[in-house]
Structures are given as structure tokens and as C-alpha cells.
Amino acid sequence: MPDDLFAVSGQRLVASLDHSRIADETLVRLRRPVSSVEVSIPVRMDDGSLAVFPGFRVRHDSTRGPAKGGVRFSAGVSRREVADLAFRMTFKAALLDLPFGGAKGGVTVDPGQLSPGELERLSRGWVGALADLLGPDRDIPAPDVATNEQVMGWMSDEFDKIRRAHLPAAFTGKPIALGGVPGRSSATSDGAFHVIRELGDELIGKESERTVAIQGFGNAGSQLASRLHEAGWKVVAVSDSSAAVLDEQGLDIPALRRHKDESGALAGPPSGTQIEGDELLALDVDLLVPAALGGAINEGNARDVRARAIVEVANGPVTPEADEILDSRGVEVIPDILANAGGVTVSWFEWVQNRQGDRWTARKTARRLEKRMVRETRRVAELSSERGIPLRTAAWVLALDRLAEAMEATGTESLFRNGGDQP
Ligand code: GLU
């Protein structure tokens, strides 16, 4: 089993314990994942050779419902990382009050090195190795880093073949033709946009001209750039793994997105000047949005941050050490479990529709997402100002209270508490 989960994301949890009424036994249960499985996935490569990739699925908790969380394909994936992300999913689902527990999966692979055929065989292989653990009432995967609706389409098809049944609710983030919902691919950025709009005045004042820098120009980062651009924000810098681009007057986001769609990377941008990736994090902007990988803002660079607020669109982009530094300098951080929860919220809508054999309009999905994001953002903001605690702590306290309530309602807690008195 992975080490004690409180070592990484758990630091956020520990910070919220002073503000939460929670039984010791609940904490003991949260400390370790319910299950943690590592498999080896053999894949026939195009050149005829056989490669074997390590694959993972960690279910952290299922008290509030079937476990939910994405699958990532990345060279850096480890069991430890997947367990940590599963832990965060439990809290993200609880914070948004979704009827889900938390899980995460992954494959240690550099997906850029694989052909489409190899990727398909790997995706199907992941499902083949883990099918016993998955299902609409058990554990429901979704896209994450470097996986998309095509990958979910392959996975869902493979699962149906194994189970000899049509089970679209077993995966979310599928292509629309296979039961996916319009709006799922923009759900993370849409959710982040609602959170920013809701908290913007409080965090950065009412200035008419607002500036933002976005690290990460993939699915969430590029779509958020468009939404902010359309809403009148000046997007002064964006970056991906190939380049970082700056224009103090505001970048032409539609042109940059066209360029990235056509060439596959930001490098050689049609407008703006190229800067170093580190410079982007240190720009004097109202809002800094890390939307790439975990650990981007850390002990080494947190002191350079000049933004007034940070929105964590990636999972875990600000380390606990950086949090302390930012806090002491008055930089507010909107935490990942709130800022990027739009994705799993629309996954919930997809799961509900698949189970009911229903299809909502794109408008209904968008409206319900906005309502849920605004409601929970307000709750986090109110708790934060009521108790004088950072937004992150407030978010973890709210999630923890919901989780504790469910865990205690299963009866185990009262059993433990009264245990000593029983004959
Ligand atoms: N991978 C996304 C996340 O980290 C979405 C998970 C889901 O939809 O289940 O929140």
C-alpha cells in the first residue's frame, strides 16, 4: 500500500483539522486508500515488438458514492502520485456535494512516443487489466492529463465487450456519439471561469482592466484563456511545454489557439514575444493561472510571484511550502479542489444521463454547472471570511465535514466510540 497519504495532500487536511469537528476514526480511515492496484499492461507495438507499461488504479474512498476520477498517461506517473490524486478526488467530490468518492488511475508512458494504434491498444489494455474493479456503481474513470474523449471511447467500448453489456455510465468524458455530453470538454475551464467571476472582485478589486497569465495551453488552459479574453480580460502571457509568449497589450488568443491546433505547439507563435517559462510565473499580473502539472509553484519560485491571486486549474500546482510563502505575502490561492471541479461536476451530469437513458441540452448542462460552482464557491468564501482562514483551508473544511458526516452515518464511528463500553 502507498505510504500515509497525509504526507502530501494531507498537509492541506491537517491545516483544516483545527476548524473541523471530526472523529479520530474518520481520520484513520481517510489516511489510506481503500484499494491500490498496480498492473502490467503488455502492448504490441507497431514494429512488432512487445512493450510492457505499468498501470495503476487507486480507489481512495467510496463512502459518499462510487469512486470517481481520471486516468492520466504520463512518463512521471507513479503509484504514489496516483494515490495522492485519488485522495484529492475524494475531497473534490465532497466539496461539490457530488454523490461520488475519489479515485485516480494512470499509466507510466510518454504518450507522445506512441502511434494512435499503440495508444488504443494501451487504453484497451488498461481496462482489460482493471475491469474487475470498474463499473457505474463501483469506480468510474474519466479523462485527465494526456487522455481525452477518444481514449474514453476506446476504454468504454472495451469495458462493454468484457462485460457483454452496454454500460455507458462506467466512463465519463466520452465522445458525444457514445453518450458523452456537449460541454464536458470545456467543463474544467467553464467551472474555473465561474469561480474567477464569483471571487474576482474580492480578490483583485473592481478594476476595469484585469490582467492574467496562464501556464499551460492545453485543454483547460487554452479554453480558459478564450473565456477570459471574451469577458474582457487582458491575457498577457500563456505557455506550454514548447514556449511561453508575452504581450503586455494582451495576446490575440484566437490566433494563438489556431496556431496551436495547426502546429500542435505554441512554439513559433504568430503574435507576442517569446519569454522563458519562469518569467511567466513572475509577471506583475492580477491573476496567475497554473494549468499544467503539479508542483509548478514551489519553494524555489514562490517568492518571485507578483500576481495578486492564483487560481489552481491544474491538480496540485502550488506546493504546501509555496502556500506558506504566498500566504505570508498576501497572495490568495483559489484551491484546485474548487477551481478545477467543473470537470468532475459535468462528469456527474453525464453519469446521471447515461443511467437514465436521457440527454440534456447543452444549455441545461451549462446552467446546472454554473449554479453548482457558484453555490459552492460562495460557501467556501463565506467560511473563509467568517473564520479568517485561507480559501484553501475553508474548502478542505467544507469537504471534510461532508465526508465525516457520511462516514459517521455508516455507523462505524459510533461503534468505535462506544466500543469500550460494550460487554
Ligand atoms: N480528471 C478530472 C479531475 O481531476 C476529472 C475527473 C472526473 O471527471 O472524474 O477532476
CATH of the domain at 142: 3.40.50.10860
- The distance from CA 157 to its chain's CA centroid, rounded to whole angstroms, is 24
40 domain-assigned: yes
- Ligand 1: atom nearest CA of 315 is 4
Instruction: Answer yes or no: do 51 and 83 share one domain.
Output: yes
Model confidence at 21, pLDDT cuts 50, 70, 90, reads confident
> Considering 68, 92, 104, 260, which one is annotated as catalytic?
104
Domain shared by 44 and 147, yes or no: yes
Are 130 and 208 within one domain?
no
The CATH number of residue 282's host domain is 3.40.50.720
Please tell me the predicted confidence (pLDDT) of residue 8. 57
Instruction: DSSP letter for 391, please.
Output: H
Same-domain pairing of 71 and 155:
yes
Do 215 and 152 fall into the same domain?
A: no
15 lines ligand 1 (CB under 6 A): no
Mark whether 98 and 191 lie in a shared domain.
no
Looking at the fold, whether 64 and 206 belong to one and the same domain comes out as no
Among the three residues 339, 355, 375, which one is the final residue of a domain in this structure?
A: 339
- Residue 194 Cα, ligand 1 centroid: separation in angstroms? 17
The reported pTM is 0.93
Could you report the per-residue pLDDT of 24-82, keeping only the tens digit for each? 778 888 888 999 999 999 999 999 999 999 999 999 999 999 999 999 999 999 999 99
Residue 234, C-alpha cell as written in the block: 487582458
Percent of the chain with pLDDT over 90: 85
Confidence of residue 10 (pLDDT cuts 50, 70, 90): low
In Å, how far from its chain's centre is CA 245? 25
Confidence of residue 206 (pLDDT cuts 50, 70, 90): confident
Q: Which atom of ligand 1 is nearest to the CA of 141?
A: 9
> What per-residue confidence (pLDDT) applies to 415?
47
Are 215 and 289 in contact by the 8 Å Cβ rule? The answer is yes
Same domain, 140 and 61: yes
Mean pLDDT of the residues in the chain: 92
Look up cell 469506480; give the residue. 139
> Residues 122-161: pLDDT tens digits?
999 999 999 999 999 999 999 999 999 999 999 999 999 9
- Same-domain pairing of 43 and 80: yes
The verdict on whether 104 is a catalytic residue reads yes
Decide which of 339, 371, 388 is a domain's last residue. 339
Rounded mean pLDDT, 168-178 = 97
Give the closest residue to 350 by CA, choosing from 147, 168, 80. 168
Is the per-residue pLDDT at 383 higher than 80? yes
Do 138 and 48 lie in a common domain? yes
Range of the domain at 134: 32-167
As for how many domains the chain has, the answer is: 2
Q: Is residue 352 part of a domain?
A: no
